[in-house]
Amino acid sequence: MHLALPKASAFVRDQKKPSASVIVQLYPGRSLEAGQVAAMVHLVAASIPGMDSGQVMVVDQRGNLLTREQDDAKGPLGLSDDQFAYARRLEREYVYRIESLLMPIVGPGRVHAQVSADVDFTVVEQTQERFDPASQVLRSEQMSEERRTPGALPGGIPGALSNQPPGPVALAQRTASVAGPEAGRSDGAESERDPASAPQDVSLQSTRNYEIDKTVSRISQPVGTVRRLSIAVLVDDWESTGENGAVNKTPLSETEIAQLTALVKESVGFSAVRGDSINVVNQSFRGIGLDDGGADVPWWQQPGFMELVSKGFGMLIIVLVLLMIVRPLLRRLRNSTPQRVQLMAPPALTENTGRADLTEDRLSLSNLPSARTGEASANALPPYENRLEAARLLAARNPRQTAEVVRAWMGGDD
């Protein structure tokens, strides 16, 4: 992982966002799903303050970019990776159904199927509003009737006298004159007509409110529906073993192929209305069966043998490292272990005592093995004892130098 952390700035325009680059080492044949890559990106972005997920790039050891922008997440046909994965998963499910159904009939490894699914990922939302005029219900009704009868029109000289109502005699004469042929005509004055015979104004209004049956439907079509299936099934011949042990193959009959076709149709939900197509073909397989699949393969080319060889080679390397490196190193450390030699300072001695000890040391030194004493005296003591005795003699002869050497040992780092 490589982090690019910009320096903090007090100015907003100079502030830059941090970024990260991640390299993933994948095993051969392995790949990361989109969810796993997204989890890595968000984990890195959340661990660095101020970092966005878009600033994190993940690549594999081959240089393939595993993180892509939102626009690049669609394929050449406008389908996203999730939609492609859904279509492939649906096809594998159909293949598994077909093979698991026919395998008990024809035998293991003697049937192969391929399914191509045309999946519709179109998002469709419909809103329908329907009215039924036949089913009307009266909701409210409002009626208004207005009648108006006009009275005698005013005539004569304007004033209070002309506006007085007529007397009884004049009213009777006016009624009789109305019945005659010249009713309504009196010196051109229309005010003398009978008000009872005048037309009446009638105004009738009616308002009715009806409720019509109304249906509002909102329909969302399911996404990922299968528009069409194309199915191809390849079936091996029947096998039978003869009396001499020879394997005989017999092709399937038309009836048997028709039965297998019917089973395949039922297993995948075949629909002729949808335009599905199916083709079941009987063909003799050549060395694809599971029973004799590894008969012609040499033993050194078997997958299990190669795995054992790789494990054995690893164990051999470990053993060689232990024998050639670790074991000599341990032996050398064991032989070169420093032996602590305790040099005890002699107590305060008198001259006679010191001379006596010195005499004893000289005597013991004279007894040391040397080249002049012969092989018998040289093998009297082990080499380690000889070196220890020589060190003691040197310390006894040169006490001052011995003390300096010991002081240097104690004051040093080693």
- Rounded to the nearest integer, the mean pLDDT of the chain is 74
pLDDT in tens, 324-363: 888 888 887 777 655 444 444 444 444 444 444 444 444 4
pLDDT in tens, 108-133: 888 999 999 998 888 888 888 888 87
- What average pLDDT score do residues 261-274 get? 92
For residue 116, the model assigns a pLDDT of: 92
For residue 263, the model assigns a pLDDT of: 93
For residue 198, the model assigns a pLDDT of: 52
For residue 383, the model assigns a pLDDT of: 74
For residue 329, the model assigns a pLDDT of: 82
pLDDT in tens, 205-227: 888 887 878 888 888 878 888 89
Between 358 and 136, the higher pLDDT residue:
136
Which of the given ranges, 72-76, 152-156, 315-319, 364-368, has the highest pLDDT on average?
Answer: 315-319
For residue 412, the model assigns a pLDDT of: 58
The 3 state secondary structure assigned to the chain is CEEECCCCCCCCCCCCCCEEEEEECCCCCCCCCHHHHHHHHHHHHHHCCCCCHHHEEEEECCCCECCCCCHHHECCCCCEHHHHHHHHHHHHHHHHHHHHHHHHHHCCCCEEEEEEEEEECCCCEEEEEEEEEEEEEEEEEEEEEEEECCCCCCCCCCCCCCCCCCCHHHHHHHHHHHHCCCCCCCCCCHHHCCHHHCCCEEEEEEEEEEEEEEEEEEEECCCCEEEEEEEEEEECCEEEECCCCCEEEECCCHHHHHHHHHHHHHHHCCCCCCCCEEEEEECCCCCCCCCCCCCCCCHHHCHHHHHHHHHHHHHHHHHHHHHHHHHHHHHHHHHCCCCCCCCCCCCCCCHHHHHHHHHHHHHHHHCCCCCCCCHHHHCCCCHHHHHHHHHHHHHHHCHHHHHHHHHHHHHCCC
Q: Where residue 154 falls among pLDDT bands split at 50, 70, 90? A: low
- What average pLDDT score do residues 281-291 get? 69
pLDDT in tens, 157-199: 665 555 666 555 555 555 555 445 444 444 444 444 454 455 5
For residue 61, the model assigns a pLDDT of: 85
Between 1 and 293, the higher pLDDT residue:
1
pLDDT in tens, 54-110: 889 999 888 888 887 544 555 545 567 778 888 889 999 999 999 999 999 988 888
pLDDT at 249 over 90: no
For residue 102, the model assigns a pLDDT of: 92
For residue 162, the model assigns a pLDDT of: 57
pLDDT at 230 over 70: yes
